[in-house]
Structure 1
Amino acid sequence: MAQINVYNKEFQEIDKIEIRDDIFNIEPNMDVLYRYVDMQLTNKRAGTASTKTRAEVRGGGRKPWPQKHTGRARAGSIRSPIFRHGGVAFGPKPKEYHKSLNKKMKKLALKSALSVRFRENNLIILDDLKFDNPKTKDMKEVLNKFGIENKKVLIVLPYKEEGYKNVKLSAKNLPQVKVLIADNSGQNKKNIDGLNVFDLINNEKIVLTREMVNKIEEVIG
């Protein structure tokens, strides 16, 4: 099993822990990574774009001018797509966009994304990260001590507790920082729906707490 350093908020190394090679150090499957990200982005599409066809636009009940002897092209309705304010030919209509992957592929994609970040040395493990009050200044201090203030950072926390919520609020005004609390309303402590491949790939530095590592290994191991 691979080992990784554990730090406190002051960026002081306080421990080493072993992480499972079958989760954090596998050979990344780039095809499954692509499929997972494609599924995430596709499922975010609202599918509400809509245009009116010639049958739906207003007006055009009668023939606009005689068929012959006007010198103009024949026309049967001003609702034709060739006229201004006419209907739209082949325009978008409401559509449901949905893709899915089986559980095995989802787990493989998460393992691949975590392994990519671990092999790049972009995975940071903290003993814990809680704030007594939500303050952007406190979050900036942590980022500065770790030297990642100019990086895109993803912080993943395990439970919905007051201290963790304060961390999330402290990062709200920092556009390069995203905080996920991987908990489903406290109903199922094993649920890590908040952790996803797109955020792992879209952010350069990944910060996990020691408890979050245990949770990941328990759920997707």
Structure 2
Amino acid sequence: MAKVDILNTKGQNVETLELNDNIFSLEPHKDLMYRYLDMQLTNSRAGTASTKTRSEVRGGGRKPWAQKHTGRARAGSIRSPLFRKGGVIFGPKPRDFNKKLNKKMKRLALKSALSLRLSEGNMIILDDISFDTPKTKSMKEVLSALDLTSKKVLMLLPYKEEKYENVKLSAKNISKIKVIIADNPNQGKTNVDGLNLFDLINNEKIILTKDMVKKIEEVLV
């Protein structure tokens, strides 16, 4: 098993932790990572774009001018796409862009992303992080101690508890950090972030707590 140093919020080594090789030491499956990312980005599309056809635009049904003897081309309706403010040919209509991926493929893609981040040296594990009250200054001090002030950071927290909610609120006004509480309880699923591939690969550094590592190993093993 791979061993990594666990840091405190001051950037000091406090202990070492053995990571599950089946999650953190895999050869990244780049094809599955692409398919998961494609699914995630595609499913985020609203699919609400809509244009009006010639049957939906405003306008009379009267023939605009006589068929012959005017010197003009034939025209049957001012709602024709040939006219200004006429209907649109083959324009977008509301549609569902939803794609699916089975659970095993999703898990392997997430494992691949975690293994890739660890092999790059872009994963930091903390013993824990908690704030009594939300305070931007407290989060900036932690980032400074970890030498992450100028980095784009993703922080993963395990449970939807007040101390972690305070951490998330403390990062709200810092542009380069995103905090995810990955808890997914059976009740009250509103505002649950969830671990996802896009955030794992869209940030330079990943910060996990020791409890978050255990939670990942329980879910993805």
Aligning the two structures, in what range does the TM-score lie when normalised by the shorter sequence?
A: over 0.9
SS in 2 for 1:5: strand
Output the CA distance in 2 between the equivalents of 1:186 and 1:49: 34
> Do 2:181 and 2:193's aligned partners in 1 also have CA atoms closer than 8 Å?
no
Identity %: 67
Which residue of structure 2 aligns with residue 129 of structure 1?
A: 129
Output the CA distance in 2 between the equivalents of 1:76 and 1:53: 15
Structure 1 position 23, deviation (Å): 0.3
Structure 1 position 73, deviation (Å): 1.1
Deviates more, 1:133-142 or 1:117-126: 133-142
The count of corresponding residues between Structure 1 and Structure 2 is 218
SS in 1 for 2:22: helix
> Do 1:160 and 1:186's aligned partners in 2 also have CA atoms closer than 8 Å?
no
> Do 1:45 and 1:97's aligned partners in 2 also have CA atoms closer than 8 Å?
yes
Output the CA distance in 1 between the equivalents of 2:154 and 2:187: 24
Which residue of structure 1 aligns with residue 157 of structure 2?
A: 157
Deviation track 1:163-207 (CA, whole Å, cap 9, x = no partner) reads 10000001111121110001124659xxx9711111101111000
Output the CA distance in 2 between the equivalents of 1:193 and 1:167: 14
Kindly indicate whether residue 32 of structure 2 is the aligned counterpart of residue 32 of structure 1: yes
Which residue identity is paired with 2:180? Answer: L
> Do 2:80 and 2:86's aligned partners in 1 also have CA atoms closer than 8 Å?
yes
Aligned ranges for residues 29-178 of structure 1 at < 5 Å?
Answer: 29-178=29-178
Which residue of structure 2 aligns with residue 9 of structure 1?
A: 9
Which residue identity is paired with 1:110? Answer: L
Structure 2: 5+ residue stretches without partners:
none
Which residue identity is paired with 1:104? Answer: K
Deviation track 1:69-115 (CA, whole Å, cap 9, x = no partner) reads 11111110000111111001100001011111111101100100001
Structure 1 position 150, deviation (Å): 1.0
Output the CA distance in 1 between the equivalents of 2:93 and 2:142: 48
Structure 1: 5+ residue stretches without partners:
none
Under a length normalisation based on structure 2, what TM-score does the superposition of the two structures give?
0.96
Output the CA distance in 2 between the equivalents of 1:111 and 1:184: 18
SS in 1 for 2:125: strand
> Do 1:24 and 1:118's aligned partners in 2 also have CA atoms closer than 8 Å?
yes
Output the CA distance in 2 between the equivalents of 1:187 and 1:26: 33
Deviation track 1:201-220 (CA, whole Å, cap 9, x = no partner) reads 11110000000000101110
Q: RMSD of the alignment, in Å?
A: 1.4
Output the CA distance in 1 between the equivalents of 2:94 and 2:134: 41
Kindly indicate whether residue 189 of structure 2 is the aligned counterpart of residue 206 of structure 1: no
Deviation track 1:91-140 (CA, whole Å, cap 9, x = no partner) reads 00010111111111011001000011000000000000101111111111
Under a length normalisation based on structure 1, what TM-score does the superposition of the two structures give?
0.96
> Do 1:159 and 1:186's aligned partners in 2 also have CA atoms closer than 8 Å?
no
> Do 1:23 and 1:114's aligned partners in 2 also have CA atoms closer than 8 Å?
yes
Output the CA distance in 2 between the equivalents of 1:168 and 1:193: 11
Which residue identity is paired with 1:98? Answer: N
Which residue identity is paired with 1:82? Answer: L
> Do 2:26 and 2:112's aligned partners in 1 also have CA atoms closer than 8 Å?
yes
Which residue identity is paired with 1:146? Answer: L
> Do 2:57 and 2:87's aligned partners in 1 also have CA atoms closer than 8 Å?
yes
